[in-house]
Amino acid sequence: MRVQFATSNEHKVAEARGILAVLGWEVERVAIDYPEVRSPSVEDVALDGARYVADKLGGPVIVEDTGLFIRALKWFPGTYSKYVLNTVDVTGVLRLMEGVDDRYAEFRCAVGFCEPGGDPKAFAGAVPGTINHAPLGDGGFGYDPIFITEGESRTFAQMPVEEKNAVSHRRRALAAFVAWAREEMPGR
Amino acid sequence: MRVQFATSNEHKVAEARGILAVLGWEVERVAIDYPEVRSPSVEDVALDGARYVADKLGGPVIVEDTGLFIRALKWFPGTYSKYVLNTVDVTGVLRLMEGVDDRYAEFRCAVGFCEPGGDPKAFAGAVPGTINHAPLGDGGFGYDPIFITEGESRTFAQMPVEEKNAVSHRRRALAAFVAWAREEMPGR
């Protein structure tokens, strides 16, 4: 089976390709914009996006939505992470965390899957960690330089990409999707 | 003519009623949730919301979207003002503005109008000002305690509500709508 992954990021497609290989599925990148619903939940954004893109393209699709959720900031920036990155940036988020003792945060990802005319499904993955007091590392992107996952001393931006991917929220969401597909869509 | 204003805020309805009285229109409040499109523009949010609500209610409607746009923060929080207020709050916005010399900001409002099956129209109003270094005043709501409009020394929260309304972005947007309606919908 061939599934289209609606994203502008080729690295995400490569990651998905590796994980979906166990299903024998082919993953193809498609560049398509879709409206993102306003909701505090990455699952809602992924469900809505998957339905829209599947109907638009007329074939099975996956989309994904990711956000950084900081507990001390009432889970800001959450599903608005990209917008916040493009405006106040990592520097702004660190400012909001100055003098804040509770550093807990998690990356959340939801993968949405849909076939045309069908009901979309969402699969979630999260990775717990803390917000560092300063940006560290040159790797990764987005909030990676200030996020340290549990049990680690390096930020995501300091870890080699394979190491980061091995524990990533996106991998977990994709793995949940694969487990479901093996059960519900055998032989597709 | 009778128009329904989709808002949970009775004060906004009272303000609209006063301004639309010159058209001889009646304004009625309706409590209805509608999806808000993700866009940096209050006009887009108002257009999309007006179309949705008009089709849902089967009658002419107005909706409005308002945001605080801060130049030094790349116009953050913008159309996400309510979300930001509910998470990092006014305190967070002041933190982001610590040590920032460019204090320029504006409130922007768009009023959306639509009749069922018709094309929605949007009418914009803005009020320029600056972000104060600390919250002042007990009146108003939202960002009013940190916003000082041009030519004033008091924040919106320090001004009596009639004085604030006289210069408000919402009044300007409603006035633009009235000017259009007098021209385009005479005798309705």
Distance to chain A for B170, nearest Cα, Å? 23
Residues of A whose CB is below 8 A from B88: 73-74, 76, 96
Give yes or no for residue A177 having a pLDDT over 80: yes
Nearest to A73 by CA among A84, A87, A57, A60: A84
Asked if residue A77 has a cis previous peptide bond (ω within 30° of 0), the answer is yes
Give the mean model confidence (pLDDT) for residues A85-94.
Answer: 97
Query: Dihedral through CA B144, CA B145, CA B146, CA B148, nearest 10?
Result: 70
> Containing domain of residue B104, as a range?
2-184
List, for residues B43-98, the tens digit of each pLDDT value: 999 999 999 999 999 999 999 999 999 999 999 999 999 999 999 999 999 999 99
Tell me the average pLDDT of chain B.
Answer: 94
What is the interface pTM, i.e. ipTM, of the complex?
0.85
How many domains would you assign to chain A? Answer: 1
Closest Cβ–Cβ partner in B35, B36, B96 for A92: B96
CB-CB contact of B66 with B41 (8 Å): no
Tell me the average pLDDT of chain A.
Answer: 94
pLDDT at A152: 96
Closest Cβ–Cβ partner in A76, A80, A88 for B73: A88
Give the mean model confidence (pLDDT) for residues A35-42.
Answer: 92
pLDDT at A113: 97
pLDDT band at A48 (very low <50, low <70, confident <90, very high): very high
List, for residues B157-172, the tens digit of each pLDDT value: 999 988 998 899 999 9
The span from the CA of A27 to the CA of A15, in Å, is 10
pLDDT at B186: 78
Give the nearest chain A residue to B98 (CA atoms).
A95
Task: Quote the pTM value.
Answer: 0.90
Closest Cβ–Cβ partner in B75, B83, B92 for A80: B83
Q: How far is CA B102 from CA A84, B6, B11, B38, B99, in A?
A: 19, 35, 32, 27, 9
Neighbours of B150 (CB within 10 A): 11
Diameter over CA atoms, chain B: 54
The span from the CA of B140 to the CA of B91, in Å, is 16
Residue B65 annotated as catalytic = yes
The span from the CA of B182 to the CA of B188, in Å, is 9
Q: Give me the percent of chain B exceeding a pLDDT of 70.
A: 100
Copy the structure tokens of residue A121: 């499904």
pLDDT at A41: 96
CB-CB contact of A120 with A112 (8 Å): yes
pLDDT at A140: 83
pLDDT at A120: 97
pLDDT band at A107 (very low <50, low <70, confident <90, very high): very high
Q: What is the CATH number of the domain that holds B70?
A: 3.90.950.10
The span from the CA of B150 to the CA of B152, in Å, is 6
Distance to chain B for A40, nearest Cα, Å? 9
Give the mean model confidence (pLDDT) for residues B99-112.
Answer: 98
The span from the CA of A24 to the CA of A34, in Å, is 27
Residue carrying structure tokens 């694969």: A178
pLDDT at A186: 78
